[in-house]
């Protein structure tokens, strides 16, 4: 009786190589798709975009019902007069901060590299660049009294 040794390397054939190549050709595209999905998922987790959306919504609340709006510090900030209270929203270092009646400050947005506030007629445009390289822009139509 002849015994077959399964662990022997004598039976390695061209067919085995083709099967391994087939398995590899199936797995590599799946690995590439997983990598692309995970990289997009990490982009979606970027907090600066979410933080900017919250900043834009909060700024909208200050602009609603405002009486006067001025650009300050060569476009680095905006002054909003609302119900007799003065709000300064400006870039200070790497944060956009809000000051009420020139007292204290509240951080509204972090990790900002550069900002540009522009007022054209009854339209306020804000352009921000973050240290991560992301750029965000918001545009507001103002209902200022004449």
Q: Are residues 71 and 99 in the same domain?
A: yes
pLDDT of residue 14: 77
pTM of the model: 0.66
Q: Are residues 56 and 39 in the same domain?
A: no
- Is residue 32 one of the residues assigned to a domain? yes
Edge-to-edge strands, sheet with 135-141: 112-120, 123-130, 135-141
> In tens digits, what is the pLDDT along the chain, a chain of 146 residues?
566 566 656 666 777 888 889 999 999 998 888 888 887 777 666 677 788 899 999 999 989 888 889 999 898 999 999 888 999 999 999 999 999 998 888 999 999 999 999 999 889 999 999 888 889 999 999 887 76
pLDDT of residue 139: 94
Report strand pairing: 85-92 vs 77-82. Answer: antiparallel
pLDDT of residue 42: 72
Contact 94, 113 (CB under 8 A): yes
Q: Pick from 145, 126, 144, 124: which is nearest to 136 by CA?
A: 126
Q: Are residues 67 and 94 in the same domain?
A: yes
Number of domains in the chain: 2
Q: Are residues 80 and 122 in the same domain?
A: yes
Query: In terms of residue numbers, what domain contains 29?
Result: 12-45
pLDDT of residue 98: 94
Q: Are residues 77 and 107 in the same domain?
A: yes
pLDDT of residue 86: 93
pLDDT of residue 4: 59
């Amino acid at each position: 009786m002849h015994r077959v040794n399964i662990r022997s390397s004598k039976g390695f054939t061209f067919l085995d190589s083709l099967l391994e190549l087939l398995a590899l050709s199936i797995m590599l595209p799946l690995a590439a798709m997983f990598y692309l999905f995970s990289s997009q998922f990490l982009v979606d987790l970027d907090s600066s975009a979410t933080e900017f959306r919250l900043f834009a919504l909060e700024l909208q609340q200050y602009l609603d019902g405002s009486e006067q709006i001025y650009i300050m510090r060569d476009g680095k900030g905006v002054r909003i007069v609302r119900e007799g209270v003065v709000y300064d929203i400006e870039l200070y270092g790497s944060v956009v901060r809000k000051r009420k009646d020139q007292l204290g400050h509240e951080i509204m947005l972090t990790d900002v590299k550069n900002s540009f506030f522009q007022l054209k007629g009854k339209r306020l445009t804000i352009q921000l660049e973050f240290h991560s390289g992301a750029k965000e822009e918001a545009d507001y139509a103002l209902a200022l009294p004449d």
